[in-house]
């Protein structure tokens, strides 16, 4: 971001939101975090950011209507994001993700805030027809979570066309790693329940679970396990700051964010063994329904339009940062 801005970060107490907030502060921007703490953590909000507890449906209009110092942009991370939960409780996803964003867009329009960066997802594509996946590929989500994010993307496109919103949607692939600061503070991934592979394998290394489940070893991949594109959360944060500057009035730009390289489940587990020095027992079980064999992004548009290129693409480095945060979190909890 080229000059200091006043920014609202919705969902800034969560994993990605907290790391982006930290990057914004380090770049000299004024940040307010709005989060209802339903899945985020108050101690995850970086020092230096103002904090407002509340839902976007109820609170965004009040926060954005500050007359003395108007906001320049909103970075929107607040959402329900568990795929499995979305299947059994889809109404929660329509209410939180779609209706919540509609209320946020209305509040932005009324307050004259005309720049938005939206946290979208690769789940909007569903089962890919080919890899790497580009932004022009069909969007056929296979679960309500992905469908809700796609609905928001359509909503943002309409807002840009009708009202001149400058908007960028960033479709993440598999986010991992942690942001580590020189003073020893760490911002990383913690979900309850945890569903992502790298933190789950690290829980085995910490003795918090006995083994890691491998869902299928008969996929058409080199070692038979699913292949995913892992992107370091700090690289992801860099893209958000670039997206604010790239946002153009009346345009809704959609960019994939990924490394363009795939790592299999087996490769991830072996990398955790090497980084942590711990044996990681694994149990192979049946495939899960809806798991594509390979999900890898083409991020060429992000390179061209945002000037973004991931600089932390090494899987061992991603795992090493995640391991540092996992140990930090474990030590904190053990001392309570």
pLDDT tens, position by position, 200-224 = 999 999 999 999 999 999 999 999 9
126 lies in the same domain as 201: no
267 and 121 within one domain: no
Q: Which of 84, 95, 266, 250 is nearest to 162 (CA)?
A: 250
- What pLDDT, on a 0 to 100 scale, did the predictor assign at position 2? 63
pLDDT band at 282 (very low <50, low <70, confident <90, very high): very high
Give 76's pLDDT tier (boundaries 50, 70, 90). Answer: very high
CA-wise closest residue to 281 among 293, 295, 269? 269
Q: Is residue 167 part of a domain?
A: yes
Q: Is 146 contained in some domain? A: yes
Q: Are residues 127 and 16 in the same domain?
A: yes
Structural domains counted in the chain: 2
Average pLDDT for 300-322: 96
> At 333, is the pLDDT very low, low, confident or very high (cuts 50, 70, 90)?
confident
**Maximum Cα–Cα distance across the chain:** 60
Across 183-193, average pLDDT: 83
Q: Which residues are annotated as catalytic? A: 145
Residue 303 and residue 187 in one domain = no
CATH number of the domain that 38 lies in?
3.40.50.720
Residues 69, 99, single domain; the answer is yes
Look at residue 291 and tell me whether its pLDDT is greater than 90.
Answer: no
The SS3 call for residue 120 is strand
Q: Are residues 101 and 192 in the same domain?
A: no
Could you list the residue range(s) of the whole structural domain that residue 270 is in? 181-227+262-295+316-331
pLDDT band at 181 (very low <50, low <70, confident <90, very high): confident
Residue 336 lies in a domain: no
167 and 249 together in one domain: yes
Helix axes 100-111, 56-64, angle to 10 degrees: 10
Report the predicted TM-score, pTM, of the whole model to 2 decimal places.
0.95
Distance CA 234, CA 188 (A): 10
- Cα–Cα distance for residue pair 315/261, rounded to 1 Å: 10
């Amino acid at each position: 971001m080229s000059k200091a801005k006043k920014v609202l970060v919705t969902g800034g107490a969560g994993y990605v939101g907290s790391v982006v907030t930290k990057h914004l502060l380090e770049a000299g921007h004024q940040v307010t975090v709005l989060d209802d703490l339903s899945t985020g953590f108050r101690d995850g909000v970086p020092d230096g950011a103002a904090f407002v507890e509340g839902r976007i449906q109820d609170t965004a209009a009040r926060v954005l209507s500050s007359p003395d110092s108007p906001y320049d942009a909103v970075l929107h991370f607040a959402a329900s994001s568990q795929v499995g939960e979305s299947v059994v409780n889809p109404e929660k996803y329509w209410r939180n993700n779609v209706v919540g964003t509609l209320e946020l867009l209305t509040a932005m329009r009324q307050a004259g805030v005309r720049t938005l960066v939206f946290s979208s997802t690769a789940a909007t594509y569903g089962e890919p027809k080919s890899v790497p996946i580009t932004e022009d590929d069909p969007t056929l989500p296979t679960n309500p979570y992905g469908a809700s994010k796609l609905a928001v993307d359509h909503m943002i496109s309409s807002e840009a066309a009708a009202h001149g919103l400058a908007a960028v949607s960033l479709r993440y692939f598999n986010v991992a790693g942690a942001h580590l600061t020189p003073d020893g503070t760490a911002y990383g991934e913690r979900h309850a329940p945890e569903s992502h592979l790298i933190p789950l394998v690290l829980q085995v290394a910490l003795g918090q679970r006995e083994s890691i489940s491998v869902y299928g070893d008969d996929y058409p991949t080199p070692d038979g396990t699913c292949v995913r594109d892992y992107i370091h959360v700090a690289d992801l944060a860099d893209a958000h700051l670039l997206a604010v500057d790239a946002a153009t009035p009346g345009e809704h730009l959609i960019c994939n964010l990924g490394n363009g390289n795939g790592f299999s489940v087996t490769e991830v587990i072996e990398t955790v063994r090497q980084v942590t020095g711990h044996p990681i027992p694994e149990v192979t079980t049946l495939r899960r329904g809806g798991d594509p064999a390979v999900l890898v992004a083409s991020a060429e548009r992000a390179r061209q339009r945002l000037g973004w290129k991931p600089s932390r693409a090494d899987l061992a480095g991603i795992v090493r940062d995640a391991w540092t945060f996992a140990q930090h979190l474990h030590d904190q909890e053990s001392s309570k």
